[in-house]
Amino acid sequence: MRPPPDPALLYPDVMARGSLAATLRNVAADCLAALPDDALAPAGPLHAAVSAAVPHRAPLSVSAWARVRRWSVRGTEPYQGMCLVDGWTHDLAEVARAARAWRDGVPLEGIGRAAPFVHLTGRFEVPDSDPARLAASEWQHLRREAYELEYDWREPYRALVEAAHASPVLRALYPFTSHWVLRFSTTTRPRLALVGPCLTANADGTYGVGTGMLAPDLGLFATAPEAVACAVRQLPSGLGPVAPGE
């Protein structure tokens, strides 16, 4: 792979001002110039961080791409570090509008209206880090993600996520994926406590249930509800509410 071009060729304006943070302030003087100096901080020449005025948001990360002139943003919540918003654009003024909305605590949907390039991941904000709400947020993210997929196996995967979410027992757990394998935890991130089997959706429309990620040693099923029912039977009894993963 060829090395990326010299940043000075893609971003002469940024390099002239010394940082992306300074360039952002200049481009969006109407909405960012009034921010405190420490609210818009450089994180290297081509990266910046915009702190939020609310404690349940980590600083918004703003980055310049290495191979084409393009800007991306990523906003997370601080407890688990999970992404709430992301997106990319060619318009730095749009980035500034997103950054200001993030800074001011505008609801996530409002950030999308202020800067339409922003993509909502489906997670919602949980200011008090309530573990049951964090689990519900993660379920909402997985469901949205499943409907946004463009892979050939998206339909079986969507069916699996929806069938798992329809199970009250599984819906009460914290869901997560690894290599598109659906798994469950009795605690939230950052320290997961795995419980139950792994669920997989296959391109041929079958569904696997296994004790590990590599093989469906607990069964291969024709429908997602059958696979979910098998997974539920493997769960230990007496599971309590989701706990903080501290």
- Note the pLDDT tens digit of each residue in 70-127: 999 999 999 999 999 999 999 999 999 999 999 999 999 999 999 999 999 999 999 9
Query: What are the structure tokens assigned to 67, written together?
Result: 């191979």
Neighbours of 161 (CB within 10 A): 23
pLDDT of 44 reads 86
pLDDT grade for 19, boundaries at 50, 70 and 90: very high
Q: Is the pLDDT of residue 154 over 80?
A: yes
Q: Can you say how many angstroms the Cα of residue 203 is from the centroid of all Cα atoms in its chain?
A: 24
User: Which DSSP symbol is given to 6?
Assistant: P
- One DSSP character per residue, 170-188 reads HHTSEEEEETTEEEEESEE
Query: What are the structure tokens assigned to 57, written together?
Result: 């948001």
pLDDT of 180 reads 94
pLDDT of 169 reads 96
**Which residues make Cβ contacts (< 8 Å) with residue 12, sequence separation at least 6?**
none
Do the strands 243-245 and 187-190 form a parallel or antiparallel pair, or are they unpaired?
parallel
Q: Is the pLDDT of residue 203 over 80?
A: yes
pLDDT of 25 reads 85
pLDDT of 55 reads 95
What integer is the mean pLDDT of 139-145? 98
pLDDT of 167 reads 97
Whether the Cβ atoms of residue 124 and residue 139 lie closer than 8 Å to each other: no
Q: Can you say how many angstroms the Cα of residue 218 is from the centroid of all Cα atoms in its chain?
A: 30
Query: Cα(first)–Cα(last) distance of the chain, in Å?
Result: 41
